[in-house]
Chains A and B, each alone.
Chain A
Amino acid sequence: MTFDLSVFAGSGTEILGGFLMTLLAWISGTALSLALGLAVSLGLVFGPHALAIALRSYVEAIRGTPFLVQLFILYFGGPYIGLTLDPLPAGIVGLAIYGGSYFAEIFRAGFLAIPAGQVEAAALLGLTRRQIVGRIQFPQMMVVILPALVNMVIILSKETTILSIITVPELTFVVKGIGTRTFAFVETLLALALGYWLLVEVTSACGKALEQRVARHLVR
């Protein structure tokens, strides 16, 4: 066998389409899971006891099971309870439910990282609950939890490969298809690995730059 990169010739559009699909799943999955995670963390920290228990079970169940199994439950099990989704929506919803539980824990830790004295001082000054969360707690905790958020966003970018298993035509699915067609599995998968490596490194560098920017006023 020889190492032959010409197997990619003529597949440019196909690969670009797969990459755009990966980006679509990653960005929409991340956006939805950030929103879900924030909502869940608010319920965990400020909600009534019963709600907090329900949300805690959701977080623990998702964090204790593999993403692949969650996807199978949603995609293959969903139709039996009247929830029939196409691969892409199922993948995005799956990513949102999965990422939401991890983001919820990160946001919760952020809320707890702000000293209680600040919240009490704000309450004494007559700020409403909403103002305290929106103007005192949230802006400060974002600086603290940004590294953890960036880390989770990177993890989600890697989890999008798993959507290929439920036949979402993202990058891994497309490149595997080219491998099957040309029998050049090693060349195609190696190129794919290098592509993801680059994507993760670039995202990580952007995250570092962002962290430095939001922390620029902090005294070192």
Chain B
Amino acid sequence: MSAIKVVIHSFPLLLQAAMTTFVLSLVATAIGLVIAALVCALGLSKRRWLARAGAVYVSFFRGVPLLVQLLLIYYFLPFIGIDVPSLVAAVVGLSLCTAAYLAEILRGGLASIPPGQREAGEMLGLAKSQIWRRLLLPQAVRSMLPAIVSEVTLLLKASSLISVIGVAELTRTGQNIAASTYQPLEIYATVGAIYLALNLLLAAGGGMMERRFGLARR
């Protein structure tokens, strides 16, 4: 089979796998945001040991290579008696890792709001929940959005590593097709092009959201 035929033939399979990669990345980001909020809250805690725990979490998951984290989680979960499919181990690994980066983004976003705003809210008699919901969060989200979008694109690329623990996402599917068709150059180039397209898609989506939030401010 000629190279172009191989690429055309395997394209539907690759697109399907790209969907898996995309959805996995978004799911891991959503879970990661929840963990990040907890870690960020820990870090801002007045109790020193809680703040320390938050800092250690961030330092560990940013300091250890993702591949090692993924392998560790993949083998650790069964070790403590939790038998899960590799897909779950992969999502857990990606979520824990991206949470460390997202926690730093959240911390930076909250720190960017002048303390005078919170004080003004308190003076005006707003409840604590109102101060968070109407004052701090909308502004924080606006300033954090570009960094969050860029973290999602990093995660999307990093998700290629879960191919190592056998999840049939884009890279793994490309490996399988390359092995069966003996056309690794064309297949991997196509896989790379799909990642590039996904990233452009994410960047465009992020740009749209930024414009929306920017308008909402006025």
Chain A residues with CB under 8 Å of chain B are 1, 60-61, 64-70, 72-73, 76-78, 80-81, 158-159, 161-162, 164-165, 172, 176, 179, 185-186, 189-190, 192-193, 196-197, 200-201
State which of A68, A78, A192 has its C-beta within 8 Å of the C-beta of B171: A68
Q: Is the interface of A mostly helix, strand, loop or mixed?
A: helix
Q: Is the CB of B184 within 8 A of A158?
A: no
- Bound-state CA distance A107–B165 (Å) is 36
Q: B142 near A: Cβ within 8 Å?
A: no
Closest to B164 in A: A165
Known: A76-B184, A162-B161, A196-B65. 7 other contacts (CB 8 A): A73-B188, A172-B68, A186-B75, A192-B68, A193-B60, A193-B64, A193-B68
Q: A76-B184, A77-B184, A158-B66 are in contact. Are A186 and B79 (CB under 8 A)?
A: yes
Size category of the B interface is 35 or more
State which of A69, A164, A186 has its C-beta within 8 Å of the C-beta of B72: A186
Q: Is the CB of B185 within 8 A of A61?
A: no
Closest to A60 in B: B196
CB distance from B204 to the nearest CB of A (A): 13
Closest to A70 in B: B192
Closest to B62 in A: A200
- Bound-state CA distance A1–B191 (Å) is 40
For B58-85 the 0/1 string (1 means CB < 8 A from A) is: 0110111111110110011001000000
For chain B residues 145-161, which have a beta carbon within 8 Å of chain A? 153, 157-161
State which of B66, B69, B184 has its C-beta within 8 Å of the C-beta of A80: B184
- Bound-state CA distance A213–B58 (Å) is 26
